[in-house]
Structure 1
Amino acid sequence: MSQETFSEDVVAAIARHMNEDHVEDSVLIVRALGGLPDATSAVLTGLDADGVDFTVEAGGGSVPVRIPWSRRLTERAQVRAEVVRMYDEARAALGLPQRDQNGAH
């Protein structure tokens, strides 16, 4: 089966942005959507058309976590929209107030 992927440069740029600017957002996402409510850190390590991969510190160890997108992605701009959707969904699942609509995401 052919799997659409993003170029290494695109994946590296997205990972760098998430790991530098949205560290806490990634933790919320893996806590709520990755099934690790005790996660203390999450590093985005990769992504493709079907999901996003993190290395997560939880329960005293490091574990890989893959979270599927809501649909197959084919364009870089869709990644941002999916990450924002995941973040909003994670906040709701964790009972946190929704982010300020003027937030930098």
Structure 2
Amino acid sequence: MSDPITPAISDRICKHMNEDHSNAIVLYAKVFGNLSETETAKMESIDPEGMNLLATIKGETVPLRVKFDHVLKDSEDAHHTLIDMVKQARTSHS
């Protein structure tokens, strides 16, 4: 069974993404946030409609909201959506 996206689930997802998938977050900022010069990025929070990132460009931190293409049902949907977005970003960024 999957969990609804509560603040605690958001924190868990963000911690995992920031620790293990920082390159994916940079791709989200570059491709879905149209910030092609992003050097580093951090996921601050995630909710059913999108994610809030902090992108670093030329030493300046820029807040960024990336909306999902659908409203997430639960944490499992978030997991699959984030993976699909990375695949899409890699395809369009290469």
TM-score by length of 2: 0.90
Q: Which secondary structure state, in structure 2, belongs to the residue aligned with residue 81 of structure 1? A: helix
Pairwise CA RMSD of aligned residues?
1.2
Larger radius of gyration: 1
Q: 1:70 corresponds to which residue? A: 69
1:1-105 matched pairs, under 5 angstroms: 6-95=5-94
Q: CA offsets, 1:66-88, max 9 Å, x none?
A: 11111001211000111111101
- State the Cα distance separating 1:60 from its structure 2 match: 3.3
- State the Cα distance separating 1:33 from its structure 2 match: 1.2
- What residue identity is the alignment partner of 1:16? K
Q: CA offsets, 1:31-73, max 9 Å, x none?
A: 1111111101110001111001101101431111111111001
- State the Cα distance separating 1:93 from its structure 2 match: 1.0
Q: Which secondary structure state, in structure 2, belongs to the residue aligned with residue 77 of structure 1? A: helix
- What residue identity is the alignment partner of 1:78? D
Q: Which secondary structure state, in structure 1, belongs to the residue aligned with residue 43 of structure 2? A: strand
Instruction: Give unmatched runs, 5+ long, in structure 1.
Output: 96-105
Instruction: Give unmatched runs, 5+ long, in structure 2.
Output: none
- How many Å separate the matches in 1 of 2:29 and 2:90? 11
Number of equivalent positions = 91
Q: Which secondary structure state, in structure 2, belongs to the residue aligned with residue 53 of structure 1? A: strand
- How many Å separate the matches in 1 of 2:92 and 2:29? 11
TM-score by length of 1: 0.81
Question: Hey, which bits of structure 1, 4+ residues long, moved more than 6 A?
Answer: none
- How many Å separate the matches in 2 of 1:8 and 1:53? 13
